[in-house]
Amino acid sequence: MAGNAISTGMLIDTSRHFNRILSIDPDEMTAVVQPGVVCDQLRNAAAAYGLTYGPDPSTHARCTIGGMVGNNACGSHSVVWGTSAENLVAVTVMLADGRTVQLHRGGTSDPAIESALAAIRDQNLSTLRTELGQFPRQVSGYGLHHLLPENGFDVAKSFAGSEGTCGIMTSLTVRLVRKPAATALSVMGFDDVFDAAAAAPRLKLAGVQTIEGMGADLLTALRSRPGREQAGSALPRGGGWLYCEVGADTQDEAERLAAELPGYVSDLVSDSLVVTDPGHVRKLWSIREAGAGIVTRLPDGGEAWPGWEDSAVPAEYLSDYLRKLYVLLDELGLEGIPFGHFGEGCVHLRISFDLETEQGLARYRRFVEHAAELVRSYGGSVSGEHGDGRARSELLPAIYSPAALRAFRAFKETFDPDGVFNPGVLVAPEPIDQGVRPGPGRDQLELTPVHAFSRDGGSFTSAVNRCVGVGACRSDVGAMCPSFQASGDEVHSTRGRARVLAEMLRGESVSEGWKSAEVREALDMCLSCKACVSECPVNVDMATYKSEFLHHHYRRGVKGFFGKNRRPRAHFTMGWMPRVLRWLAKVPGALRLVNFVESFRLVEEFTKRLGGIEPRRRMIRFNPVPLGRWHSRRKSTFEEIERPAVVLWPDTFTNFASAGPGKGAVEVLEALGYRVLMPADDVCCGLTWHSTGQLDTARKVLGRTLDVMDPLIAGGYPVIGLEPSCAAVLKHEITELVPDDSRAHRVTELASSFGEFISRHKAEGGCWPFDSVRGNEPSRVLCQVHCHQKATTGYDAELEILASLGVDVDVVGGGCCGLAGNWGFEPGHFEMSQDLGERELYPKVRAAGENDIVLADGFSCRTQIHQGTDVESWHLAEVLAAALRAGR
């Protein structure tokens, strides 16, 4: 975030192959790790001994120990457990000449280096004692105060925070701490963020483990995100908040201590609550931990940038510092949203800098120079956690004397005399406004996109630049990002792809622009699962970016049918499947004949080869009678009674390949008292064209669909989607593709998933004629939630329905099933597809009992489960239909 790891040289990512925990010593309470070990990986391993690693930045699910030590990261518990430097026992470092040296308390394994460091200390005793180590979050510069005799000449700790400028860490010995037996969280509300900051130092005296602060601005920004309008509703009343965690030997004691905290600041606090439920605690912490991503966009959608994102002052001055920082922002016409580690005076702040014009860059420089002087006036640090990097190293003379700066240079030269490691950082810094991105002229390849990009002012560039490198997509847990989780390769993360697209748009290192095969290859492993839409703090939508790129790439770059940029055959085979099936269905017996012919292995293999389909995939079998035709021919038992009407959306997959969910849905909806309508002609949401970047066709298909649906839309009938990806198009994406058609906006209001509609029916007191799924037999339901459902509507409604059926539910937490529609049928994707299935889904399906039900609403998910495990899975509509029959 401070440009610490951005350079013109080689970058080393240790997280992929240099990521082992070498040992844990529970008696000594230490661990030896390689630098690529992720913080949570170590914390989880230490938990087996009742221990944890103290530093815990909000990025703890993906930040590495080496990276944390490199910039002296801290986290919310640094109030009690300290910084990464304070938890470092020893480190082994490789120098530029290939030698390794061990650094520890009392010296090093290299006599020459040890002697040079001792000389730096002895020549600068007064400077080190008066300028460094003055308060806990003084992270700027090198930590040379650790070399002082009274600090044990701790060379390892002095190396922490060196930001890769002195050597490459190959192993680290870190201190572990004892986890408290019980914790409780006190959340206190104040009139504003200034009162919250003023209360923080007084609460530190109470012995709390965290004092995290934020203001109402952050909550406003969060509520501006799609689907997060009610976020923070559980917070106590106020305009600023502090999160204070306490630990104790018993839960009762922890709750008592937490309840007493408001008394320490009774003159300032407005409201408070004590939380102990783990789910509630996680929900509240998620607001604070998502802050770094949330504030990259202001509530009005404007961009906000780092550059002054972790300044720190002694905590007793924080309230005054914040007030003056707001004045400075206002004077320069800037906006920012503060939050951070208030108990130690550290403020995270993203600001509405204009980085696209020379005038904007000049104003950026004016702000940080004035802010550095403001920090100096309080005895503070321009960095309190992230390090100085390229964003702040030039500002070090504002807070340190020439003598301190000379000592920093001598320290760097002791380890790296030739200046090989990370030049331009800390010593001999580059100008803060040099190499800034996006920077002036960033829109060299901007064009009018097909998608509306309504949240980004119609700009593809602005959409791509939502990504500012927070890196939530590098987490090994959750749904984002499946291709990174399977490969561990940065280029296959959402962040990696966003950076490649940004390079293309700037016209710098990507020379062919929209025609670039390199960009296409970088996007190829994107499954278009949309996990980033909901799990990325800034709601990057890589599936849409990929679709937009593919559209322009193949329109601009086609070199003939056999040229290097020809569209893959699988795009036609899978993309045009709805149209082909519609044509086949018009010929009596054609779908049945296709199934018969494809049952011969040689024919199936030839078809896959002809269609450019992955040869290890099995071809889909089709409904001999499409669902729509079945529905038009059947006679409803309830037709003679006047009932409210609903529209069941006959998506391509349900209509032509998996009629069971559709028939079950009709049975259930009629039993609940509804008259089920279907469109008079075939309809399609255009998903298969959209995901393959055939956007002109997708728009035409949607236009025709809206024409067919026109009388049903005009009638205001609820539209119920069975296929989650299609329902997501109707609820969210249709207006991005046909924004000027008022019917599209009306469809988004009428559309819901099957689960949402049934849950709403139940909540409104509708009839509920269901029994347990299989009579009196106990059942467990294993749920694979479709990616697009998880990213848009969520799965709470479905879980409530299952709970009402009296079944135990186990939700697969590993994200995408691995098929991802057409993606899993394309050559080159099969191995990753299966790796993703094996992460959690396949093992859980194989372990399911005889009476268990595997539930997957997505046709892709059911296909992947069947082809990977030979287990047939159900749709929620089929589960409810079975429960309906059991109740009769």
Domain identity same for 510 and 475? yes
Strand partners, 178: 51
379 contact partners, CB below 8 Å, separation of at least 6:
134, 135, 313, 314, 317
Domain identity same for 13 and 156? yes
Domain identity same for 187 and 173? no
Domain identity same for 168 and 202? no
Domain identity same for 701 and 841? no
Helix, strand, or coil (residue 471):
coil
What pLDDT, on a 0 to 100 scale, did the predictor assign at position 302? 77
Domain identity same for 170 and 316? no
Centroid of chain to Cα 55:
21
Q: Are 538 and 297 in contact (CB under 8 A)?
A: yes
In one letter, which amino acid is 330? D
Q: Are 36 and 181 in contact (CB under 8 A)?
A: no
Domain boundary among 307, 338, 353: 353
State the Cα–Cα distance between residues 342 and 76, nearest whole angstrom. Answer: 9
DSSP string, 205-242: TTT-S--EEEEHHHHHHHHTSTT-TTTTTTSPSSSEEE
Residues of the chain with pLDDT under 50: 558, 560-562
Strand partners, 339: 214, 348
Helix, strand, or coil (residue 182):
strand
What pLDDT, on a 0 to 100 scale, did the predictor assign at position 288? 77
In a domain, 445, yes or no: no
In a domain, 449, yes or no: no
In a domain, 617, yes or no: no
Please report how many Cα atoms fall inside a 13 Å half-sphere around the Cα of residue 88, on the Cβ side: 34
Q: Please state the three-class secondary structure of 279-294 as a single string.
A: HHHHHHHHHHHCHHHH
Task: Say whether the peptide bond before residue 684 is cis (omega within 30 degrees of 0).
Answer: no
State the Cα–Cα distance between residues 323 and 405, nearest whole angstrom. Answer: 30
Which DSSP state fits 732? I
Tokens 């099995």 belong to 618
Domain identity same for 705 and 683? yes
Domain identity same for 409 and 505? no
* Tally of structural domains, the chain: 5
Q: Please state the three-class secondary structure of 47-72 as a single string.
A: HCCCEECCCECCCCCCCEHHHHHHCC
Helix, strand, or coil (residue 487):
helix
Strand partners, 677: 647
Rounded to two decimals, what is the model's pTM?
A: 0.88
In a domain, 202, yes or no: yes
Domain containing 745 equals 627-763
State the Cα–Cα distance between residues 554 and 540, nearest whole angstrom. Answer: 23
407 contact partners, CB below 8 Å, separation of at least 6:
120, 123, 124, 127, 128, 142, 144
Cβ count near 866 (within 10 Å): 16
Please report how many Cα atoms fall inside a 13 Å half-sphere around the Cα of residue 282, on the Cβ side: 3
What pLDDT, on a 0 to 100 scale, did the predictor assign at position 639? 57
In a domain, 610, yes or no: no
Q: Are 196 and 270 in contact (CB under 8 A)?
A: no
For 371-425, the pLDDT digits (tens) are: 999 999 999 999 999 999 988 999 999 999 999 999 999 999 999 999 999 999 9
Domain identity same for 13 and 157? yes
In one letter, which amino acid is 293? G
In a domain, 769, yes or no: no
CA distances from 639 to 429, 589, 636 (A): 79, 29, 5
Domain identity same for 298 and 187? yes
What pLDDT, on a 0 to 100 scale, did the predictor assign at position 190? 97
In one letter, which amino acid is 840? E
State the Cα–Cα distance between residues 431 and 165, nearest whole angstrom. Answer: 17
Cβ count near 150 (within 10 Å): 7
Centroid of chain to Cα 870:
32
Q: Are 657 and 863 in contact (CB under 8 A)?
A: no
Domain identity same for 709 and 754? yes
Could you tell me the CATH number of the domain that includes residue 657? 3.40.50
Helix, strand, or coil (residue 443):
coil
Could you tell me the CATH number of the domain that includes residue 26? 3.30.465.10
Domain identity same for 6 and 61? yes
